[in-house]
Structure formats: C-alpha cells, structure tokens
Amino acid sequence: MVAGNARYVRYIVIAVFTLAVFYFISSSKYDTVSVPTGLGRTGASTQPFPSKENVELGRSKPPQEPIDKPKGDASTITSPKKSTGTGAKEVPLALTPNDPNWDSDLVGVAPGPRMNATFVTLARNSDVWDIARSIRQVEDRFNKRYNYDWVFLNDKPFDETFKTVTTSLVSGKTHYGEIASEHWSFPEWIDQDKAKKVREDMAERKIIYGDSVSYRHMCRFESGFFFRQPLMMNYEYYWRVEPSIELYCDIHYDPFRVMHEGGKKYSFVLSLYEYAETIKTLWDSTKKFMKNHPEHIAKDNSLGFLSDDGGETYNNCHFWSNFEVGNLNWLRSKAYTDFFESLDHDGGFFYERWGDAPVHSIAAGLMLNKSEIHFFNDIAYYHVPFTHCPTGEKTRTQLRCHCNPKENFDWKHYSCTSRFFELNGMTKPEGWEDQVQ
C-alpha cells in the first residue's frame, strides 16, 4: 500500500513537471516586453500622446545592448544606443568600394555600432501582404545584417495575422501601436461643411484621393504626429517604409550611420513636382509662418529648391516622403512643431488636400541647412509609379542592382533632383544625360 502511494506521488510529480515544461516552451515563443509609454514628451506640446495599444514582439537575434530609455526631453536622445561590440572608430563607415572597410561579401551580422533607429510603417490590416513584400526586400538588401527594430502604426488595432506575418519577417524587434483618435480626426476648428464641399468638388474634378477623408487623416498624421507616438519616443532616427515598395540594390553601409556621422536630418531618393490643385494655399500659409517665426529659418537653407522667385511663389518641388530616413528629434523640435501647428490651424489638410511630402519638404528646405539634407544615390527604390535606379553601370553592378536604368526618374523633366544637385553644387553622376528622356 505504501509502495502504491509512492507510485501515485511519482506519477503526479512527473505530470506536473511535464506540464511545467510545456508551459515554459509555449509561452516563450515570443518574449514579450512592455514598452515604456509617454517618455520624453516634447516641450512643444502640452498634449499627452496616449496609445491604446503598444505591443512588442521580439524574435531571437544576435545579442545587442538594450535601447537606453530616454530621460526627460526627447531632444536629449543621442546615438548610438546599440552596439555589436565594436564602435565607429574600430569600424569606420565605408561608402564606396574604394574605402578600406568596404564590405563586399555582406555575410553575417554587420560589424560596427548601431544607431538609435527604427523602421516605421503606417498600415492597415489589409496591407499585410503588400507590407510583407516591402519588409522582405528591406531585410534581404539591408536589415538582416543590422537587425533594426520596426514600428507599425495603425488607426485601428492590428490583428493577429498582421502581427504574426510581420514579426516573422523582421530580424529586429517589432512594435505595434494604435494611434490615438485625436491624431486621426478633424480638429475642432475645422468647418465640416466646408471640408465636405471641398471633397465633393475634388471628386467631380477627379483629383486623386480628392474625395477621401482617411487619406487626409493619413497626410495630417504623417505631417504632425508619427514622430511623437509613444513607440517612436525611444528612437532618434527613422526610416519610413510603405507597402509594395521595392529596393533594387544591396545596401553595403548603414544609412542611419550616414545620417548620424554626417550630421544629416532628412534624406530622400526621389523628388518631383506636387499636384498644384491639392496645395493651392500651402505656400501662403508657409509665408505667414516665415513672417511669424523668422527665428526658425535656417541661414543656409534650400529656398532655391522650393522657389524660383526668391520665395514669392512655390515651384511645387518636394522630396517624395514615402521613402524617408530622418532625424526624429528634428521633427520633434520647436521649429518643426511650430510649423506643423501653424499649418494645421490654417486647415489645408481638410480644406485642400495637403500632402505630408510637401509639408516635410518645405520644412526641411527652410529650417535645415543645406548640408543637413542628404540624397541617397545608393538606395535604389520604387514606389508606384517612380523608380530611383542609381546612375552608372559600375555602381549598379557593384551593388547587384536589378532595376532597369532606363526607368530612373532622377534626370527626367518632372523630377526636381537636378535642381537639388545644382543648388548644392553637386556633380551629376556620369551617364545622366542618357537618362533625360
């Protein structure tokens, strides 16, 4: 009888142990770590930025130091924050194959420091397969060796499919945030009837997205709020990625490091003229801002990129903001937020259809020095309908590009990139004349 009892006790102990092992294995599939919210609010706004949902999903990856949490004002965050154990001194940036450190093999984890940076995507659940394509390209061409994080933002909760698919593709940690309704709605000073009439009129005139309310919320959000979402407050640099983009060449160096070490605040790969009908009074609002805030205008600005008559009128040139690598602290600065708030009160996000691309571009053009804006020739990129394919056969071969050089938009008449080169005294790459048509 005693022996029989001992046997039962043994069975129970084994059963409990087995259950504990199962529980441990199943619950450690994703290591869930809570993300600090409400860190480092900017001094520019008194509004809190609550988020209904902030989730982090992490995959196994090479060990890295955790991101330091910023204390106090976000503008005090400095890079780098993460490291592979070797610093910028031991592994200097190599930007061309002639540089001693040029990494031609692209195998394994990239050596060198990591910046305090993240990819960021605004998307709907229905965008899952289109963003999956984009992520796969970003990972294959760059991030699989750098393992930067990825923040996903949505005006609705992300569903499980979206989270599972994207987390399985990103080599860094993934974070999912739901946007607070005040960042995705009409501000109280907007006259709803007037806004509705504008949408009806634009629909009749067949202006693209002219009748869309959600497109306007998206443009306003990308202009004024993405960089101050709780999940973004931990980072200093961002790289914006949209669904269905392509990256056509290997990226041999860390663009975030280029930004940091070169003192860059904003960058682009494609530029073009904005659809004038959507921004009829944007320049008037800008001029009003310049008059009210001369202290925010940079001495060595790029007004010449934006205007052909010394600032009287806007020539509609803008950097295409569906690709951006930029400095979040600049967007969180008083200069930028004053600009956004001034535009927001003028109402053009709803009374017209102001896009975030001209808004970011005008801000960069007026409030940054020329040296702070960077053109990434090496990042070959496509977002319907335009392609940036690096000029020069040698470059394309070295970077293993798969874009058709004939489709390069840079030097065509509807691009503003020639103007950027001329303003900055840059020499256009060899062969550009062959791509004008």
Ligand X SMILES: Nc1nc2c(ncn2[C@@H]2O[C@H](COP(=O)(O)OP(=O)(O)OP(=O)(O)O)[C@@H](O)[C@H]2O)c(=O)[nH]1
Task: For residues 238 and 232, give the distance between their C-alpha atoms in angstroms, rounded to a whole number.
Answer: 9
Q: State the nearest-atom distance from the C-beta of 383 to Mg ion, in Å.
A: 6
For the beta carbon of residue 77, count every other beta carbon within 10 angstroms.
Answer: 24
Residues between 352 and 391 that touch ligand X (CB under 6 A) = 384
Q: Of 20-28, 123-131, 261-269, 292-300, which segment contacts ligand X by CB under 6 A?
A: 123-131
278, 307, 322, 408: residue in contact with ligand X (rule CB under 6 A): 322
**Tokens 């009749």 — which residue?**
204
Kindly tell me which residue out of 94, 102, 124, 132 binds ligand X, with binding defined by CB under 6 A: 124
Q: Which does 59 bind (CB under 5 to 8 A by kind): Mg ion, ligand X, none?
A: none
Q: Which does residue 124 bind out of Mg ion, ligand X, none, counting CB within 5 to 8 angstroms by kind?
A: ligand X
Element (H, E) at 326: strand 324-327
Residue 271 touching ligand X (CB under 6 A): no
Distance (Å) of CA 345 to CA 143, 211, 319: 39, 21, 23
Q: Cβ closer to Mg ion: 242 or 261?
A: 242
In the three-class reduction of DSSP (H, G, I as helix; E, B as strand; rest coil), residue 421 is classed as helix
Amino acid at 54: N
166 binds ligand X (CB under 6 A): no
Q: Which residues, numbered 310-329, are part of the site for Mg ion (CB under 5 A)?
A: 322
Assess 341 for contact with Mg ion (CB under 5 A).
no
The distance of closest approach from Cβ of residue 219 to ligand X in the complex, given in angstroms and rounded to an integer, is: 8
324 catalytic residue (yes or no): yes
Site for ligand X in 9-48 (CB under 6 A): none
Residue 122 binding: pick among ligand X, Mg ion, none (C-beta 5-8 Å cut-off by kind): ligand X
Find the Cα–Cα–Cα–Cα dihedral 404, 406, 411, 415, rounded to 10°: -70
* Nearest residue to 183 (alpha-carbon basis) of 152, 162, 154: 154
Does the footprint of Mg ion cover residue 130 (CB under 5 A)? Answer: no
Closest CA relative to residue 28, chosen from 40, 20, 36, 39: 20
Rounding to the nearest 10 degrees, give the CA dihedral for residues 85, 89, 91, 97.
170
Of the listed 178, 324, 352, 372, which one is catalytic?
324
How far apart are CB 131 and Mg ion at their closest, in Å? Answer: 11
Distance CA 33, CA 231 (A): 13
CB 360 within 8 A of CB 310: no
Alpha helices in 299-436 (DSSP H): 303-306, 328-331, 334-346, 348-351, 356-367, 393-398, 417-423
Beta carbon of residue 11, minimum distance to ligand X (angstroms, whole number): 53
* Window 226-265: residues binding Mg ion (CB under 5 A): 242
Supply 329's token pair.
Answer: 């602290």
In the 3-class helix/strand/coil scheme, how is 274-311 assigned residue by residue? CCHHHCCCHHHHHHHHHHHCHHHCCCCCCHHHHCCCCC
Residue from the set 110, 151, 218, 380 that interacts with ligand X by CB under 6 A: 218
Pick from 35, 123, 180, 335 the residue near ligand X by CB under 6 A: 123
Residue 121 or 286: the one with the smaller Cβ distance to ligand X is 121
User: How far is Cα 73 from Cα 233, in angstroms, rounded to an integer?
Assistant: 10
Closest approach of ligand X to the CB of residue 178, in Å = 9
Q: Which residue is nearest to Mg ion (CB)?
A: 242
- Using the rule CB under 6 A, is 122 a contact of ligand X? yes
Q: Which does 154 bind (CB under 5 to 8 A by kind): Mg ion, ligand X, none?
A: ligand X
For ligand X, which residue of 155, 246, 261, 338 counts as binding (CB under 6 A)?
155
**Would you name the residues annotated as active-site residues?**
324
Q: Where along the sequence are the contacts to ligand X (CB under 6 A)?
A: 121-124, 127, 154-155, 214, 218, 242-243, 322, 384
Q: Where along the sequence are the contacts to Mg ion (CB under 5 A)?
A: 242, 322
